[in-house]
Structure 1
């Protein structure tokens, strides 16, 4: 990675192109979120998830048809881990279920009814897992998850303002909001299931993106103190170039782990790994272009980071 050390490139000269790209991505993401919404998982919608094991590979389409014929609507059927295990997600079927009036006996009754139907298809069918989440719990999770994102952003705003300067804090917040909107937009466009693990991944994306941004901001502050004759654009370009090797290495090694998790980690963390893959790509881009570009647009300068010395301050010690 020596070739990336102190690379000289006019990053800020390309900020208008980056602005157009980011604007297009955000508009597409928001349009999808408002029109299609997120494909909320059981954690947020409520309902029942049952995992059924078969002695032989199961036909997902046949399982779905049998269950729908028995009166279950809007169910999601997919393989779970292997071809012999099938995960069946059943949303609340009646209004009384949406009011969280299902008891443990009702859940067991629903599971047993599903098992009876599937045993007609294959007598070896057996339930290996059954979970139920009430819709009221799901509503609370949506509210609490949204508050967690909001509190994280507010905390970051305060932290960066104290450590650097308010223009830097707004730049970092712009990058974080950019990353969250685009990552959520990808989930909306492809309708990937959005559950608690994905929400956790979004919070992790915020932390990852902020870490990259802080490294760049630290270098900008140092270079402002060293390069008195350089313009703001030159200082930011130099700072990004000096930290680029660190950014590329960190992102590359992180992506290797996430890709392994995505392909070999199983269905339970598939959404988590996918969200982080998207977040790392978008977060790396935003720490280079969005955060620094926003700070530059707000008019950051050397004088904002270095206190002006009072005239005669060197004589204050004389009585």
Structure 2
């Protein structure tokens, strides 16, 4: 039985022929994304904007009906709630956004929490209230700071890893590609005003991981070909390397897309932002690996001698001694 090949073995697409227009396009996308964030802002979720948190225990149930709770609390009209298990299957944390100014008005936030509790108790007898607290803006600011630090630390460690494994030019190329991926993802959330919460930070970290994986595969093939084809012009060598890894890239992307599309189209609303971010990042990360990470090596002076060990004085002395023998 003949194996199905999504990408023919003799594929020879000249990706780097359009490296300048695509690089300009990438710069425009980055600038436009940050402009959208500055003008529209991000539609921050409860994790970053604060809200009212209610903790409940369903004493007569083995597990809390998380999906039903989300629908019933959303019907109160305070926005999309965040409903999560809290330490045990029958314990939940329900967080709802607060109207503007509610946090500064005594009793308003607590009353909203009481409405949530009353709604749950009305439909589910035997519920115990464990807490009714306001998540302040200060706590939300700490979440925002920690999330930003997590993203910066991830990108910095990625650059350091690639720098050590390859050369500094590869580290700079990978870091710029990741900056592009994160920027465009943030721009999409600012443009379409999708809710931006902690789960989106997890999605961005997943995008960084996927993009990095794809970039390292391409870089590893480039390094091999630099040693193998010493006289080949660098743009041609980069095209060859990308084409040789294209089958793997397409197969990985399609496999992930098959898993994401059903969730995107038919999954619960609470997961839409997370799945949408990863789906967009799948295409953004693949694009940056091909049209940013690889072409940048040309402009940063990578040559066929980049991975050839330099001859030291000891090596030359040894050759001289051997020649005399």
Say whether 1:169 aligns with 2:171.
Answer: yes
Name the structure 1 match of 2:190.
188
Say whether 1:11 aligns with 2:15.
Answer: yes
Please list the CA deviations of residues 40-85 of structure 1 after superposition, one character each: whole Å capped at 9, or x if unmatched. Answer: 100011113689969xx99x8x954xxxxxxxxxx4269x9xxxxx
Please list the CA deviations of residues 191-233 of structure 1 after superposition, one character each: whole Å capped at 9, or x if unmatched. Answer: 0000000001101111110000000000001001111220111
Q: Is the 8 A contact 2:194 2:273 kept in 1?
A: yes
Say whether 1:76 aligns with 2:83.
Answer: no
Aligned length: 290
Name the structure 2 match of 1:291.
293
> Measured at CA, do residues 41 and 312 of structure 1 come closer, stay the same or move farther in structure 2, by a change above 3 Å?
same
- The answer for unaligned runs of 5 or more in structure 2 is 55-65, 84-93
Q: Whole-Å Cα distance in 1 between the matches of residues 247 and 67 of structure 2?
A: 48
Name the structure 2 match of 1:40.
44
- The answer for unaligned runs of 5 or more in structure 1 is 65-74, 81-86
> Measured at CA, do residues 43 and 15 of structure 1 come closer, stay the same or move farther in structure 2, by a change above 3 Å?
same
Q: TM-score, normalised by structure 2?
A: 0.77
> Measured at CA, do residues 293 and 131 of structure 1 come closer, stay the same or move farther in structure 2, by a change above 3 Å?
farther
Name the structure 1 match of 2:319.
315
Q: Is the 8 A contact 1:5 1:244 kept in 2?
A: no
Q: 1:312 Cα shift?
A: 3.5
Moved more, 19-28 or 127-136: 127-136
Q: 1:115 Cα shift?
A: 7.1
Say whether 1:29 aligns with 2:36.
Answer: no
Please list the CA deviations of residues 221-278 of structure 1 after superposition, one character each: whole Å capped at 9, or x if unmatched. Answer: 1001111220111110000000001001101111111122223331232211111011
Q: Whole-Å Cα distance in 1 between the matches of residues 279 and 67 of structure 2?
A: 30
Say whether 1:203 aligns with 2:205.
Answer: yes
Q: Is the 8 A contact 1:180 1:202 kept in 2?
A: yes
Name the structure 2 match of 1:251.
253
Q: Whole-Å Cα distance in 2 between the matches of residues 255 and 292 of structure 1?
A: 24
Q: Whole-Å Cα distance in 2 between the matches of residues 226 and 166 of structure 1?
A: 21
Q: Whole-Å Cα distance in 1 between the matches of residues 80 and 271 of structure 2?
A: 18
Say whether 1:148 aligns with 2:147.
Answer: no
Q: Is the 8 A contact 1:198 1:275 kept in 2?
A: yes
Q: Is the 8 A contact 2:181 2:284 kept in 1?
A: yes
RMSD over aligned Cα atoms? 3.4
Q: TM-score, normalised by structure 1?
A: 0.79
> Measured at CA, do residues 211 and 77 of structure 1 come closer, stay the same or move farther in structure 2, by a change above 3 Å?
closer
Name the structure 1 match of 2:243.
241
Q: Whole-Å Cα distance in 1 between the matches of residues 231 and 67 of structure 2?
A: 70
Name the structure 1 match of 2:279.
277
Q: Is the 8 A contact 1:38 1:194 kept in 2?
A: yes
Name the structure 1 match of 2:63.
none
Please list the CA deviations of residues 82-135 of structure 1 after superposition, one character each: whole Å capped at 9, or x if unmatched. Answer: xxxxx994326547x369x98xxx86642334677x89xxxx777999885332
